[in-house]
Amino acid sequence: MSVENRIPVLIVSGFLGSGKTTLLRRFLRHPLAGEVAIIVNEFGEVGIDHHLIRKTDERTVLLDHGCICCSMRSDLAHALRELLSKRDRGAIPRFDRVVIETTGLADPVPIVHTIVSDPVVRNHFRVERLAVTLDAVSGQTNLATYGEAVRQIAAADAVILTKLDLVEEEVVDELRATLAAINPSAMVLDSAFGRTDFDRLLAAGVAGLGALEAVSADGTGPEPAPVVAHGMGAVASRCIVIDRPLDWHMFGVWLTMLLHRHGSRILRMKGFLNVGGEGGPLVLEGVQHVIHAPRHLREWPDDDRRSRIVVITRDLDIDLIEESLHAFQNAAQSA
């Protein structure tokens, strides 16, 4: 199949909590997006993002329990082939584009490599753009601390600056300078709560840069470097489940104390909280020290009404976190 007729694949990467899902939700509402199939890869053992991206749609595929840049490359190729065959059988509606949301720790280069080297996949799909979100609040620290964050930026065709509303202009200027030093050729777009210049992002004729250059046109390019991602100390993830409705006040106290003590080692917290009352859960969104304003969903995404909190830590024993949360909640019950 000629390159133009292949289905475009937009890869959205970016460090933990940097705004990938938020961007994707906006993109899906943009006329340019067309009919989209989505592959979401989550680092945690329980997927949250696919519930937040859009309502149930057979064209949303969740790949959890690992990272498609390393242990799950064949799963990605399989998921893309499955989408094709289901579409051809009429089992799912048509789609004009695939968006892959990587985990926040992914190295995107092996992902690109998978798409351009799998014989079936490369015949039907082409990498359209590798967009990487960069969080203005923690971007500078992440780039100084985590090789994963640098690798993502270095590979990007386009970098989407997020959370600009939360920082001073000087912070953004510094971040732009760091960004230019790592990847001077990337297109840089500002965004606000996922809104960005999608027309520019996807404009035809903009050459795929960064990672795409590392892969030769016929897809037989160099093997990606051995993945050293997730070697940043002991990264661990856990889904903490709480059966009874949460005591919101006690939860707030616990969270404040936890972040005060261990904030820099808590890379990400997200989940659905049952705080009782009508409607759906409260969506908890924590990115290192920052807790973003919680949103109340109108309804639960599935039948499970328990609170589920995915915690991703570095060099921190998650057992202790889980035990302390249960202890706080038990104290609230017996008070």
Ligand X SMILES: Nc1nc2c(ncn2[C@@H]2O[C@H](COP(=O)(O)OP(=O)(O)OP(=O)(O)O)[C@@H](O)[C@H]2O)c(=O)[nH]1
Min dist CB 161 to ligand X, Å, is 9
Q: Structure tokens of 262?
A: 């261990």
Min dist CB 147 to ligand X, Å, is 16
Give the HSE-up count for residue 26: Cα atoms under 13 Å, Cβ half-sphere: 15
Alpha-carbon distance of 100 to 229, in angstroms, equals 18
* Interface residue list for ligand X (CB under 6 A): 14, 16-22, 49, 104, 133, 162-163, 165-166, 191-194, 268, 270, 285, 287, 292
Residue 135 neighbours by CB under 8 Å, 6+ apart: 14, 15, 17, 18, 19, 142, 162, 163, 287
Alpha-carbon distance of 16 to 312, in angstroms, equals 9
Nearer to ligand X, 22 or 329 (CB): 22
Min dist CB 49 to ligand X, Å, is 5
Nearer to ligand X, 15 or 95 (CB): 15
Nearest Cα to Cα of residue 35 among 60, 6, 1, 67: 60
Min dist CB 288 to ligand X, Å, is 11
Min dist CB 14 to ligand X, Å, is 5
Nearer to ligand X, 122 or 268 (CB): 268
Residue 113 host element (H or E): helix 108-117
Looking at residue 67, the DSSP 8-state letter turns out to be -
- Is residue 251 helix, strand or coil? helix
Residue 83 neighbours by CB under 8 Å, 6+ apart: 37, 39, 59, 61, 92, 95, 98
Nearer to ligand X, 17 or 108 (CB): 17
Nearer to ligand X, 20 or 126 (CB): 20
Min dist CB 238 to ligand X, Å, is 14
Nearer to ligand X, 191 or 307 (CB): 191
